Amino acid sequence: MSEKKSTRVAYGEALVKLGQTNEKVVVLDADLAAATMTNGFAKAYPDRFIDCGIAEADMVDIAAGMSTMGLIPFCSTFAVFAGRCYDQIRNGVCYPHFNVKFGFSHAGVTLGEDGGSHQAVEDLALMRVLPGMTVLVPSDANETYKAVEAAAALNGPVYIRTARLPSIILDEQPFVIGKGNVLKDGTDAVIFTCGMMVEQCLEVVKMLAEKGIDCALVNMHSLKPFDEELVRFYAAKTGKVFSVEEHSIIGGLGDAVASAIAGHGCTCFKKIGIMDRFGQSGKPADLLAEYGLDAAHIAAQVLETLGK
């Protein structure tokens, strides 16, 4: 592990690098290039960048049309604005299975002071339910670089969720769409997590170890397709399963885990996430504590569930 970098910054860097080797890549933004970090691509390849203004629906329809010409469009805006263009994503891209990518940033409550109106806690649920949509949630810069490359190589719609807050850069891990990465093995319990929560959960497993609990930690950077085989393996191995996500407990990672283990004999399962609430304005660290998503609160919920 090394320095910190936000996944939104890594997303912008990855697009610039991808543009060097793939002339089919084009980038569209909705008047947020300085925030989504696509301004680097705009500077490097101005002829392949389109600022669509505050018109997300138009942006998606333009990208859909460009994809029919053999181009690989990446649409970028804030994750909360997925709702503004959901009809276009559904009917204009997913229904005909066009080759459009969505790099939506500033997701979750770690966005901070912008408040609940801008903190997307439902975007993964919206995207997971769309037929044919691949959903990726990288946890650090390295995973983001690989997610962008993998998205460009895949024929079909892809949603990449990135965040504003910098996160630690993990040691190199494989990145295979549809496969999770085991960050720590364990026998007493398992935590499945993704995105910004990976950093918190690395601390959680250390806290649990101090209590004598050997907890496995699995990074599920691919929410769809989902590594159900790996989930069921650790559910059978430990019998105590937890999901941790910076997203509503409805429709996100927790529900994907629940679907994977349903009917397979797991004795204990708890979803840890945002409990049917909107976000609010505050410092990212304070908001994580408020929503029970900092390491201390996550560990306390695990211990309580385990009866420790």
Q: How many residues does the chain have?
A: 308
As given in the structure block, the two tokens for residue 199 are: 């950093």
Please name the helix (run of DSSP H) or strand (run of DSSP E) that holds residue 137, with its range, or none.
Answer: none
Please name the helix (run of DSSP H) or strand (run of DSSP E) that holds residue 222, with its range, or none.
Answer: strand 222-224
| Cβ-based neighbours of 34, under 8 Å, separated by 6 or more | none
Q: If you write DSSP's letter for every residue of 257-304 in order, what string do you get? A: HHHHHTTTT-SEEEEEEE-S----SS-HHHHHHHTT-SHHHHHHHHHH
46-63 as b/e: b if 16+ CB within 10 A:
eebbbbbeeebbebbbbb
Specify whether the CB–CB gap between 224 and 133 falls below 8 A.
yes
Specify whether the CB–CB gap between 290 and 131 falls below 8 A.
no
Q: How far apart are CA 296 and CA 285, in angstroms?
A: 12
Specify whether the CB–CB gap between 191 and 163 falls below 8 A.
no
Annotated active-site residue 210? The verdict is: no
Q: How far apart are CA 252 and CA 107, in angstroms?
A: 13
End-to-end C-alpha distance for the chain, whole angstroms: 30
Catalytic residue (choose from 3, 13, 23, 56): 56
Specify whether the CB–CB gap between 295 and 288 falls below 8 A.
no
Q: Which residues are catalytic?
A: 56
